Amino acid sequence: MRTRRSPSRPSALPTTRGPGRRAVLGGAMAAAGMAATGCGANARSTSGQLRLSEWNLFTGGDGLRLLEMHRQYQEAHPEIDLRASTFDWGSPFYTKVAMGAAGGRGADVATAHVSRLESLAPGQLLDPIDPAALAEFGIDDTVVLPEAWDECFFDGQLYAVPLDTHLLVQYYNLDVCRQAGVLGPDDRLIATSGSDEFLDMLEAIRDVTGSLALSIDTALPWPVFWTFYRQQDGELVLGEDGQFEMDDDKALTAMELMYRLSGEGLAPRHSAEMDTAANVSNGAAGLMFHGNWEIPTLEETGVDFSVTRFPDLFGNHRTRGDSHCYVLPHQRDRDPEVTRASLEYIASMLKSSLTWAGGGHIPAYQPVAESEEFDALHPQSEYRGAVEDIVFEPEGWFSGSAGRLQDELNGPLSTLHTGTQTPEEVLTDVKERLRALLQIPAPV
Amino acid sequence: MTRTRPPMPASRTGITDVRNRPKTSWAGLWFIAPFLGFYLLFVVWPSVVGLGYSFTDRSLAGGPVSFVGLDNWVESLSDPYMWSALWNTLLFTLLSVPTMVILALALALLTDHARRLGWFLRFSFFAPFVLSVAVMTLIWAWMYNPTLGLFNSVLESLGLSGIEWLHNESTAMISVVIATAWWQVGFNYLLYLAAMQSIPDDVYEAASLDGASAWQKIRRITLPLLSRTTGLITILQLIGSLRVFEQIYLMTEGGPNFATRTIIQYIYDSGFVGLRIGTASAMAYVFMALIIVASIAQFRFFSRKEQ
């Protein structure tokens, strides 16, 4: 491995003089100086465009739609140099936003989940938004879905602007369901009420597929658990010092249903990422619980499918939901011109959210959500009313999409599907993890 | 310097006068200054600052920082999830170090004995090492996929039932070790091969004349002469395995049900996802202490054996 160098002989020395050491050093320092001034406070590029940096987490089918919206925005705003960056969804994205903002050099505007607002330390990592300045661009509480708008406040100040709401819905493979006889005369899934009727429907579907009936993501079971729990009016109040209120019986009922689905072979024991949509597109299952953002994925497969609201299992159609929103990460030297451009950018995104709705999300901007064009979108129109049934995440600094609550609870909850723990054991495990999380002093 | 020579003008001999030594050693310092600067800035300084953070409630979100004494250390040491993450790291180390040392030795012996296809073996065994971790994990995650993957379709075509690989708590860690061994064994292999090829042929020839069998030659000549290399490889592998993070984070994200969450991921989760830099620093120091103890023990063990 080691190579031994022979001492260079005099003849090997260069005879012609290249640039001297000092010249090279001087040049390097000059270049470094130029680079240093290049990343200074001035957001204007040499051509006079205003540089606007945007960070987002849309890596799925919705990401393509965002690119299209950005293209339209860029065409309409030649004076802006939009620099959009997409980061991997979840923790990789949030850690970057948090670290950028912690150093006071966050992106000018970033996407986030409304459920993560508290964990992003409004006032520290996020800068407040002036509602009056936003209203100049036509966005205020009269045009945004009130349920989502109300979630954007923290300590009475506005910190986010909702772009959409998204929720768990029920997908169904039309061919499979038709053969199973669970479609009505209008080719829509027959409505069931209560978990028994739903399980009967699953049995009928399994008779057709010969393998599964319901496709679910077993690696990320929290949203389904939360939906089952909230349909029973279960409350989860997160206190301090390890204290919390949880309804054990209702949690156990929810867990037993999840355990039963996989235990009886109606749902898979393992399914993550692309497997979940694949199971319904290739006909291994007839139904699927998943977020509305999987619509583009299924459309690409060419399978004949439709979507409806989450089934009534415990007396209502409540379903776990969240909102994508825009936030202003903290900047030490906030340039008012860039802030104005950021707000205008946010307003344009909301106004062009019909494109966004193609990805399955329900626009929060009401003029679009109530438009005829949105109504004409299929299958989006099948579940647009479900917005009323949305249940958001429990309140806490560690809750929310890809937050620590989900991270810590998805592990034990997934064992309900794999069958390695009984619902009673999972409940104990979940409560222990909740207690441990609540004993941690809040960092925000 | 044992010999003394008569003083000669430096300009004639090109040899630096002994009395000028102190000057030259200062010049040497200038040469390592760039490295030293970066090392102090990016390794030593953050380590010192991190130690300081571990006694505060510093948050990544900013806000007022106050001194909390040993709270973070007490919290870390009494956190059962930290211990289970630490155990996962140790389990990975216990499984991967012997595998990757013995496998590397076996592959090197094979290559050393191969007369014809030596270049091909060298290439094949070392090639995976040059892959980036993202590429390696993508390949293996696909092969491990329980429904669409290569391994299970082979097993099923043989009439066997499929294995859940990365999706089962009892097989996930072993699956990660297998993938890691395939990816990283090339480096150990190369060290072994180089050491083997530096063993003089006449030792083997002498043994052959004395009628030693091939196995005897390996046991009595090759392995003893490789003991220094084995020590080196084991130490490097031990430290490398204790630091495991990337491939596990990319393949399982620590799942299923935290069966593969390593201590570094737990530190990352606490510090960067959970924003609690103070506690994460304390845990990082607990872990660093463990690595130092393991390295010293290993070093002692091997240096004593040589004496």
A418 part of contact set with chain B, CB < 8 Å? yes
Q: How far is A266 from chain B (nearest CA, A)?
A: 16
A404 part of contact set with chain B, CB < 8 Å? yes
Write the CATH number for A158: 3.40.190.10
If asked whether residues A123 and A261 sit together in one domain, one would say no
Please determine, for residue A173, whether its predicted confidence score (pLDDT) is greater than 90: yes
Tell me the residue range of the domain where A308 lies: 167-321+388-439
Question: Where a domain ends, among A370, A402, A428?
Answer: A370
DSSP helix/strand/coil, B38: helix
Angular region, A365: left φ>0, alpha ψ -120 to 50, beta rest: beta
Note whether residue A21 is domain-resident.
no
Please determine, for residue A74, whether its predicted confidence score (pLDDT) is greater than 50: yes
A240 pLDDT tier (thresholds 50, 70, 90): confident
Note whether residue A276 is domain-resident.
yes
B24 pLDDT tier (thresholds 50, 70, 90): low
Angular region, B215: left φ>0, alpha ψ -120 to 50, beta rest: alpha
Note whether residue A402 is domain-resident.
yes
**Contacts of A198 by beta carbon, 8 Å cutoff, 6+ apart:** A192, A311, A313
CB contact under 8 A, A411 and B258: yes
Contacts of B168 in chain A (CB under 8 A): 270, 418
If asked whether residues A256 and A365 sit together in one domain, one would say no
Note whether residue A34 is domain-resident.
no
A13 pLDDT tier (thresholds 50, 70, 90): very low
Predicted pLDDT at A5: 37
Predicted pLDDT at B130: 95
B17 pLDDT tier (thresholds 50, 70, 90): low
Predicted pLDDT at A330: 94
Per-residue pLDDT, averaged over B182-203, amounts to 94
If asked whether residues A127 and A228 sit together in one domain, one would say no
B167 part of contact set with chain A, CB < 8 Å? yes
Interface test with A, best of B161, B260, B275, B283 (most A CBs within 10 A): B275
Note whether residue A54 is domain-resident.
yes
Give the domains, in start order, of chain B with CATH numbers.
71-306 (1.10.3720.10)
Please determine, for residue A1, whether its predicted confidence score (pLDDT) is greater than 50: no
If asked whether residues A124 and A183 sit together in one domain, one would say no
Per-residue pLDDT, averaged over B176-201, amounts to 95
Task: Tell me which chain B residue has its CA closest to the CA of residue A93.
Answer: B273
Predicted pLDDT at A43: 67
Predicted pLDDT at A65: 92
Instruction: Count interface pairs A-B at CB distance under 8 A.
Output: 93
**pLDDT tens for each residue of B266-307:** 999 999 888 899 999 999 999 999 889 988 887 787 776 555
Element (H, E) at A203: helix A195-209
Q: How far is B12 from chain A (nearest CA, A)?
A: 14
A135 pLDDT tier (thresholds 50, 70, 90): very high
CB contact under 8 A, A420 and B169: yes
Residue in A1, A99, A444 closest to B194 by CB: A1
Interface predicted TM-score (ipTM) of this complex, two decimals: 0.79
Predicted pLDDT at B18: 54
If asked whether residues A139 and A180 sit together in one domain, one would say no
Mean pLDDT of chain A: 88
**pLDDT tens for each residue of A377-420:** 999 999 988 888 999 999 888 889 988 899 899 999 999 999 99
Residue in A270, A403, A412 closest to B146 by CB: A270
A28 part of contact set with chain B, CB < 8 Å? no
If asked whether residues A292 and A222 sit together in one domain, one would say yes
B81 part of contact set with chain A, CB < 8 Å? yes
Please determine, for residue B8, whether its predicted confidence score (pLDDT) is greater than 80: no
B272 part of contact set with chain A, CB < 8 Å? yes
**End-to-end distance of chain A based on CA atoms, in angstroms?**
52
Interface test with B, best of A24, A25, A95, A429 (most B CBs within 10 A): A95
If asked whether residues A89 and A199 sit together in one domain, one would say no
**Contacts of A137 by beta carbon, 8 Å cutoff, 6+ apart:** A343, A344, A346, A347
If asked whether residues A157 and A213 sit together in one domain, one would say no
Contacts of B272 in chain A (CB under 8 A): 91, 95, 98-99
A407 part of contact set with chain B, CB < 8 Å? yes
CB contact under 8 A, B269 and A121: no
Per-residue pLDDT, averaged over B115-137, amounts to 92
**Contacts of A83 by beta carbon, 8 Å cutoff, 6+ apart:** A51, A52, A53, A54
Predicted pLDDT at B15: 52
Model confidence, pTM = 0.83
Please check whether residue A251 is in contact with residue A265, taking contact to mean a CB–CB distance below 8 angstroms: no
Note whether residue A150 is domain-resident.
yes
Quote the percentage of chain A above a pLDDT of 70.
90
A220 part of contact set with chain B, CB < 8 Å? no
How many angstroms separate the CA atoms of A217 and A274, rounded? 9
Q: Between residues B112 and B174, which one has the greater pLDDT?
A: B174
Identify residue A363 by its one-letter amino acid code: P
Task: Tell me which chain A residue has its CA closest to the CA of residue B166.
Answer: A270
Predicted pLDDT at A444: 77
Contacts of A415 in chain B (CB under 8 A): 169, 256-257
CB contact under 8 A, A414 and B257: yes
How many angstroms separate the CA atoms of A418 and A406, rounded? 18
**pLDDT tens for each residue of A248-295:** 999 999 999 999 999 999 999 988 778 899 999 999 999 999 999 999
Can you give the three-state secondary structure of B120-134, one letter per residue? HHHHHHHHHHHCCHH
Q: Which of A78-87, A305-314, B106-115 has the lowest mean pLDDT?
A: B106-115
Task: Tell me which chain B residue has its CA closest to the CA of residue A221.
Answer: B257
If asked whether residues A413 and A352 sit together in one domain, one would say no
Interface test with A, best of B273, B277, B281, B283 (most A CBs within 10 A): B273
Task: Tell me which chain A residue has its CA closest to the CA of residue B60.
Answer: A102
B146 part of contact set with chain A, CB < 8 Å? yes
Q: Which of A58-62, A259-263, A278-282, B205-209 has the lowest mean pLDDT?
A: A58-62
How many angstroms separate the CA atoms of A138 and A349, rounded? 12
Question: Where a domain ends, among A370, A403, A428?
Answer: A370
Q: How far is A144 from chain B (nearest CA, A)?
A: 29
CB contact under 8 A, B59 and A443: yes
Contacts of B167 in chain A (CB under 8 A): 219, 270, 272, 418
Give A80's strand partners.
A50
A36 pLDDT tier (thresholds 50, 70, 90): very low
Contacts of B252 in chain A (CB under 8 A): none
Q: For the packed helices A248-263 and A423-439, what is the interaxial angle rounded to 10 degrees?
A: 130
If asked whether residues A220 and A297 sit together in one domain, one would say yes
Task: Tell me which chain B residue has its CA closest to the CA of residue A125.
Answer: B61
B255 pLDDT tier (thresholds 50, 70, 90): confident
A94 part of contact set with chain B, CB < 8 Å? yes
If asked whether residues A280 and A352 sit together in one domain, one would say no
CB contact under 8 A, A407 and B269: yes
How many angstroms separate the CA atoms of A96 and A115, rounded? 17
Note whether residue A232 is domain-resident.
yes
Please determine, for residue A19, whether its predicted confidence score (pLDDT) is greater than 90: no
Domain count, chain A: 2
If asked whether residues A256 and A402 sit together in one domain, one would say yes
Note whether residue A376 is domain-resident.
no
